[in-house]
Amino acid sequence: MPKKRVVLAVHGGAGIILRSALTPEMESEYRSALQDALSAGYAVLNRSGRDDDVTISNSGHQEDVATDAVEAAVRCMEDCSLFNAGNGSVFAHDGHIRCDASIMSCSFDKAVYDNRDVSCDKAEEDDIISSDKESSITTCHQIIQKRRYPKTPHPQAGAIAGVTNIQNPISLAKAVMKHTPHVMLIGKGAEDFAKQLPKEARVEFQPDQYFWTERRWKQLVNVRESEKEEQQKQQQQIMKVQLDHSSTTQQEEGSDVVCDKKFGTVGCIALYQPDANDNTYQLASATSTGGMTNQRYHRVGDSPIIGAGTYANHLCAISCTGHGEWFLRCVAAHDIAKRLEYKHGYDGTSSATNNTLLKKALDEVVFGTLMSEDHAGEQGGDGGAIVLDKDGNFAADMNCPGMYHGWVYEDGEMETSIFWDERVTKQ
């Protein structure tokens, strides 16, 4: 019996997530929320496009069903207060909530890739050069075009950082991708852009009260109090921050920052192929976060950075969650994709019948690059990632006790996973 393809997967953050600390009721709530997000994304893939939205782009970007699917799934998680994104975002040191998000997609036609002609005819180039004694810029461009790979896959990307009062940051990131020539907008500029968008973009502002939750406010109060105690003990300035999904405290060597090891982010990856026998397919990835509790100076992590927390090309789509600074330093998502292609030989002309290569590339980064020691001998990079390739092979892993995640097969069957030991029996 052939293995079923995975077409969409989500995550809701990683960290020290233990069965002993999660009641059966809370576990059920998280799994239900993951299934809601999977259903939202799968519904878009299943009907080959969204029924309540139209493309707002006038810049020539191709409509991408996979992009709509990851947006729908992430919007669902942003509207759920369980996750650190949108409605459930954490508070920064100044008591404000600032959100980051990014989205990336790539459409690909394997037939065009297989039939491309990249031969460079030196005699033809010499004829062009000899006909132009002045070596004009026109001649240069003619030769460049002769050497150019035709129909090379061209990913699209959009990102926003440090925005306030945006109900669904992922939709604003998508609007940047679809409706501007830019990739990333930040702060007030991104908010000003949001105000100009048409209703069809589904980018809505909400008052501060919409984002306020007692649980998140208590987290900020507790971190501030702990920070104050540390300052009194050590008689020096302490900057304490907290991420999501754990309570283990760590003092970073050579730094005044104490981190509670919690990693709150949401993300989704999707594969869309109009026909199983069709050579055309689309891959997309999206990631959204509220950052870290008590973060200062408008800190930005890996989630809105293309290549660090989010990446998609013609081979795979990746969304990461974890200690953002380490994922930024390692350019983690991009590293996974390029290891898959360059080291393990997975390219646009090959097919994989299982996730062996995907797992190798993922594990080399999650358990290798991210966990390398810094100059002080400190290990970092706690977190995980979800990865989906063009053949519907899926892999997820984490170097911490748990990660909220789930995936849906092409027939609609869903699975969810939270705890470390579940990975042994699933995937």
Residues noted as catalytic = 265
Answer yes or no: are the C-beta atoms of 308 and 169 closer than 8 Å. Answer: no
Answer yes or no: are the C-beta atoms of 66 and 105 closer than 8 Å. Answer: yes
Core vs surface per residue 317-332: b (16+ CB within 10 A) or e: bbbbbbbbbbbbbbbb
Q: Distance between CA 287 and CA 9 in Å, rounded?
A: 12
Q: Distance between CA 352 and CA 336 in Å, rounded?
A: 16
Rounded to 10 degrees, the C-alpha dihedral 244/247/251/255 comes to 20
Q: In this structure, which amino acid lies at residue 308?
A: A
Residue 152, both tokens: 């090379």
Q: Distance between CA 371 and CA 374 in Å, rounded?
A: 9
The strand pair at 262-263 and 6-15 is best described as: antiparallel
Q: What is the DSSP annotation of 105-147?
A: EEEEEHHHHHT------HHHHHHHHHT-TT--HHHHHHHHHHH
- Determine phi and psi for 410, rounding to 5 degrees: -65, -25
Q: Distance between CA 159 and CA 74 in Å, rounded?
A: 14
Bridge partners of 383, per DSSP, are 322
Answer yes or no: are the C-beta atoms of 388 and 269 closer than 8 Å. Answer: yes
Q: Which helix (H) or strand (E) holds 317?
A: strand 316-322
Q: What is the largest CA-CA distance in the chain?
A: 79
Q: Distance between CA 202 and CA 358 in Å, rounded?
A: 34
Answer yes or no: are the C-beta atoms of 366 and 321 closer than 8 Å. Answer: no
Answer yes or no: are the C-beta atoms of 291 and 89 closer than 8 Å. Answer: yes
Helices (H) and strands (E) in the chain, counts: 12, 16
**Torsional sign, CA 229, 233, 239, 242:** negative
The strand pair at 156-163 and 184-186 is best described as: parallel
Residue 304, both tokens: 């809105």
